Amino acid sequence: MKELSRKELLKKYDLVGSFSEGLAWVKKDSKEFHIHPDGTPAYEERYDFAYSFSEGLAVVKKDGKGFHIRSDGTPSYKERYAGVGPFSEGLAWADKDGKEFHIRPDGTPAYKERYDSVGVFLEGLAWVRKDSKGFQIHPDGTRVD
């Protein structure tokens, strides 16, 4: 099937995000999911929130819980979080019980420590905040001196 223009996609869907890794998130009838460039859905599941793909996984939210999915719509892991962010350098931030940390693509924590907030990894480091103090960490959670 032929690739549809943005104008054609907007006739089919309420909102259309940018294409990333071959898929774009869309909103239709208050539900979000991903489509191919020809406008066909990439999978059947519908979510309350969907975001662009990054490193092969996309952030979604269903029933108030965040997690990541593969391009076929299947969850990357069973755990559900209050929120998750996009993957960068193999890790994504996650929020569980009001504390943040980084997870791997299988949903397991990258380290034991929990923070008040964490940022994305860029060039091997991420900013974190704990007890009103900000500092950087390595992917294994060790503090940068």
**Sequence-distant (≥ 6) Cβ neighbours of residue 11 within 8 angstroms:** none
The pLDDT of residue 145 is 84
Q: Has residue 42 been placed in a domain? A: yes
The pLDDT of residue 53 = 98
- What is the domain extent for residue 92? 6-111
Instruction: Name the strand (E) or helix (H) holding 32.
Output: strand 31-35
Q: Whole-prediction pTM value? A: 0.94
Closest to 92 measured CA to CA, from 136, 26, 32, 81:
81
Asked whether residue 56 is domain-assigned, the answer is yes
How many domains in the chain?
A: 1
pLDDT for the residue numbered 1: 75
- One digit per residue, the tens of pLDDT, for the chain of length 145 reads 799 999 999 999 999 999 999 999 999 999 999 999 999 999 999 999 999 999 999 999 999 999 999 999 999 999 999 999 999 999 999 999 999 999 999 999 999 999 999 999 999 999 999 999 999 999 999 999 8
pLDDT value at residue 14 = 98
The whole-number pLDDT of residue 65 equals 98
pLDDT given for residue 61 in this prediction = 98
**CB contact burial 49-88 (16+ within 10 A = b; e otherwise):** ebbbbbeebbbbbbeeebbbbebebebbbebbbebbbbbb
Only one residue has tokens 């259309």, namely: 16
What size, in residues, is the chain? 145
141 located within any domain: no
pLDDT value of residue 77: 98
Say if 135 falls within a structural domain: no
